[in-house]
Chain A
């Protein structure tokens, strides 16, 4: 089978378009479903205010929809893109653009449905504050869209930037790595930053006078959740714009793939975990506004620990990108580097979520039982350290795969 270059470009563009829209549709649909579910729950308790609840539901769903609209736009662009000078590098870039946008839209869609649904519940409880709930929902959902916007930016750069013709060398692997990294890296942050938005809406219904504090905590918490997506964006940008000079093709291509997988997958767990802690702190402040200082401190400590797997992923990516590997035509040399990326990437998911769960529970109970904040913090850190151990094993195996084998 010998295809000409034009066929490859078309093949990649159409496949990329399918991936972008197919995966891109998952998140928004789930998120909007959650919003509608909560809206129904809200209506069942307060039929009189059905007008403002339904209006809020529709506004919330529209925001959650935006992630999949990004995916739609990228998919349509990929279907009708005009490539003046087709090259194999362009084919790789177009496929990578589809991967970045498709997976990148999942998290933002799911996450931004959560504040929408919980704002409906809030309106049912305190109809006179409908305006404030809608504002909080919009801010919370807008933050959730950030990772999808990062993914769209990376996709558009991959599609429309002129990376020079013909210099295929290593850039094809780097571009695919960048697409994988940004696409998967956006999932966790998108889902995670939905939790604080939702809990802030519920909290305002409980303690309207604590609204400004809740808003501040929501913004701090969801900003920290964005860190893993930002790591993924940094790695994607490095991979797209790095010059590889005369690094040997084998096995460096596998290192670049591995670098994308490592940060992209490891970012999922940390993003979700950081969001759980942030959500619990909004809940806690609403329950007991005087504890805001302690709750915020423990939230930040817990979130910092749950960012660790993403940082491990970033570290392994940087080693894979910047280390020069001696030329080797064996398959095993390539698979060692790819395996290192896969190992750290998957290995970071579980500990990221686990440490986030621990932080969520610790923050929740500090708000209820503030005089034992010290005990809780200690237990949280011990528990998180143990949960972190498997990420450390994964990093050790990755480093052995890179440096020893």
Chain B
């Protein structure tokens, strides 16, 4: 199979997109799970504050999500823009 310069660049951007989103998803997945785990623990200890705790969990998770969204953005840029 003949490989040309344009083709190899395109191939690199596609596999790069896969790597960016694949590896980038590990951290937020674990981190948000940790936040949710501690929120459950806190609600177990102090159920009256369930609303506040859930809100805090969601804010924390949203921040933790940001790196996942960066990965998504980079993956989409690699797929459709560059």
Check if B26 sits within 8 Å of A365, measured CB to CB.
no
**Contacting residues, chain A, for B23 (C-beta < 8 A):** 346
- Chain A: how many interface residues by the 8 Å CB criterion? 64
> A335 to B11, alpha carbons, bound, how many Å?
5
Q: How far is the CB of A136 from chain B (nearest CB, A)?
A: 26
Contact partners of A362 in chain B: CB under 8 A: 37, 40
SS class of chain A's interface: helix, strand, loop or mixed? helix
Q: CA separation between A205 and B9, bound complex, in Å? A: 61
A269 within 8 A of B: yes
User: Once the chains bind, are B32 and A383 in contact (CB under 8 Å)?
Assistant: yes
Interchain CB contact under 8 A, A361 and B40: yes
| Interface residue A252 (Cβ < 8 Å from any Cβ of B) | no
- A358–B36 CB distance below 8 A: yes
Q: Mark A329-355, 1 if CB is under 8 A from B, else 0.
A: 111101110111111111111111111
Interface residues of A in 349-396 (CB under 8 A from B): 349-358, 360-362, 364-366, 368-369, 372, 375-376, 378-380, 382-384, 386-391, 393-394, 396
Per the bound structure, the CA–CA distance linking A397 and B15 in Å amounts to 11
Expressed in whole angstroms, the Cα–Cα distance for A394 and B25 within the complex equals 7
> A349 CA to B80 CA in the complex, in Å?
26
Give A262's nearest chain B residue, CB to CB. Answer: B22
For A249, the closest partner residue in chain B by CB is: B1
B36-79 vs A, Cβ < 8 Å mask (1 yes, 0 no): 11111101110100100110011001100100110110011001
With known contacts A331-B11, A350-B28, A397-B75, A368–B44 Cβ distance under 8 A: yes
Residues of A within 8 A of B71 (CB): 390, 393
User: A401 contacts which of B18, B24, B27 (Cβ < 8 Å)?
Assistant: B18
Q: Contact at B17–A401, with CB atoms within 8 Å? A: yes
- Complex contact A343–B68 (CB within 8 A): no
Beyond A379-B54, A387-B32, A397-B72, whether A344 also contacts B79 by CB under 8 A is no
- The answer to whether B15 touches A338, judged by C-beta atoms less than 8 angstroms apart, is yes
Given A344-B22, A366-B44: A379 in contact with B33 (beta carbons within 8 A): no
> Is A242's CB within 8 Å of the partner chain B?
no
Chain A residues with CB under 8 A of B33 = 273, 350-351, 353-358, 383-384, 387
Known contacts A379-B39, A397-B79: A338-B18 contact under CB 8 Å: yes
Decide yes or no whether A400 CB sits under 8 A from chain B.
yes
CB–CB A369/B47 < 8 A: yes
Contacts of B61 in A (CB 8 A): 383, 386-387
CB distance from B56 to the nearest CB of A (A): 11
26 chain-A/chain-B pairs, Cβ below 8 angstroms = A330-B10, A338-B18, A339-B14, A342-B19, A342-B22, A343-B18, A344-B22, A347-B24, A357-B30, A358-B36, A361-B36, A361-B40, A369-B44, A369-B45, A376-B40, A379-B53, A382-B54, A382-B57, A382-B58, A383-B39, A383-B40, A384-B36, A391-B25, A397-B75, A397-B76, A401-B79
Q: A376-B43, A379-B39, A397-B21 are in contact. List 13 more A-B contacts (CB 8 A).
A: A330-B11, A331-B11, A338-B15, A343-B22, A343-B75, A347-B22, A354-B31, A354-B34, A355-B29, A382-B36, A383-B57, A390-B25, A391-B25
Interface residues of B (CB under 8 A from A): 1-3, 7-8, 10-12, 14-19, 21-41, 43-45, 47, 50, 53-54, 57-58, 61-62, 65, 68-69, 71-72, 75-76, 79
